[in-house]
Amino acid sequence: MLFSHVFDPSSLREYDIRGIVGKTLTTDDAFAIGRTFASMVSRAGGKTVVIGYDGRLSSPVLETALVKGAAESGVDVVRIGCGPTPMLYFASIMLKADGAVMVTGSHNPPDYNGFKMVFAGKPFFGAQIRELGDLAAKGDVVALQDGTVRSVDIREDYISRLLKDWDGGQTSLKVVWDNSNSCAGEVLEKLVARLPGEHTILNKTIDGHFPAHHPDPTVAKNLEQLIAAVREEKADIGIAFDGDADRIGVVDNRGEILWGDQLLVLLARDVLNAHPGATIIADVKASQVLFDEIRRAGGKPVMCPTGHSLIKSKMAETGALLAGEMSGHMFFADKWYGFDDALYAAVRLLGCLARLDAPLSVVRQTIPQSVSTPEIRFDCDDERKFKVMEDVAARLRHAGAEISDIDGVRVTTPDGWWLLRASNTQPVLVARAESTDEVGLAQLKSALTEQLAQSGIALPDFSGACVTH
């Protein structure tokens, strides 16, 4: 029987394949991904593909179709079951797999799902995803054959490895965790049972409805429950995960949010204490304060486009020991394996906090203050968003503005900087601005609003959106 499959073009993203279940993403897509990805692995001389899935309602049936497709391409499929995306990355390394696929909708709404892939130990993204789509459409896959399928429980090995790098001693830290009903639930319970200190877990049940709140810790509203619990229990720290536990959110002992770049300042200082002069990477959305603080701590800061696949590639290229994004992806390569893992980042952060001689709220005050907007995301059609970016960049270049175009446009002025970029995972544009004072921030907001207006885009009202770091 001949194989051929055409994906909904909106599902083939830059870093993964993702869509709305039953509309732009189906079990036929899952089978085709398995069939085609495994063919690519096989043609490269590989044999083993590890497959896992998250806690979304649609994930088990998509995983079953994915496994069937991969097996029909003749590879040995290893199923690790439901768990965090970073556990899949860990399994692919420990099992010396040639490829790995995670069924996950990450931080998207409950009706979304998708697939993150690893090929020969490296991120599978960009041109490779487009190639997969082309091969599936042409039916250009290996001949139908019977591969093997087996299940492996990797959870205990994963938890033990997470704990291997615990360096906080017998701390008495009081920690509130918000699992966000994510697929980390069972793993997190077992992890904290073996960590010193006092631990409370909110929303620990894996539930694809996400009944407590949306599983995205970069949005302040989604942290309200955690903030309230930290304050009520007088905890030392609160830690939250996204839907597949590769992104971390943090609040201090006063219930104040530490944004991704502030968290990276603390982690960078710790890594640089052990590795002076190390390269530390941050994405284009990060505060200028972060880059300045890395340099002040004796490190080499590098700005990188946003995207977990791009950052992993940049880490390999530069030999960076640590990287992070505003979105809460944290990548350690000093002792860990260089992939983004919120559970591992949490273990390292708690170890760091246990060794400090002051509460987290006091330590954060050592980070120079700036005034910024939060990350502002607003709807823009997938096709139109890239045209808007082209037009804005062209006008800025014509005006002689000081810009960085490694990912969207980041414009530097005497008032500070503002950023506009097209999301590679959703039909949205993303904006952010930062200044040393509110007057400068108002000027930056005005410039950003004007540029969008010239492209026929009305920026949502963010006149009151102001975050003091």
Among the listed residues 253, 279, 280, the one whose alpha carbon sits nearest the alpha carbon of residue 265: 280
C-alpha 391/C-alpha 397 separation (Å) is 10
Beta bridge partners of 296: none
Please return the burial class of 45, using the count of CB atoms within 10 Å of its CB with bins 0-12, 13-18 and 19+: exposed
257-258 sheet: strands from edge to edge: 198-202, 174-178, 237-241, 248-251, 257-258
Provide the 3-class DSSP secondary structure of residue 452: helix
First to last CA, the chain: 60
Locate 405 and state its tokens: 């175009």
Neighbours of 81 (CB within 10 A): 17
| CA 206, 354, 286, 449 torsion-angle sign | positive
Among the listed residues 87, 74, 80, the one whose alpha carbon sits nearest the alpha carbon of residue 45: 74
Provide the 3-class DSSP secondary structure of residue 170: coil
Among the listed residues 267, 19, 37, 243, the one whose alpha carbon sits nearest the alpha carbon of residue 136: 37
Query: How many CA within 13 A on the CB side of residue 439?
Result: 1
Q: Strands, DSSP E only, in 165-305?
A: 174-178, 198-202, 237-241, 248-251, 257-258, 279-283, 300-304
Locate 327 and state its tokens: 């979105």
Active site residues: 106
Determine phi and psi for 49, rounding to 5 degrees. Answer: -125, 125
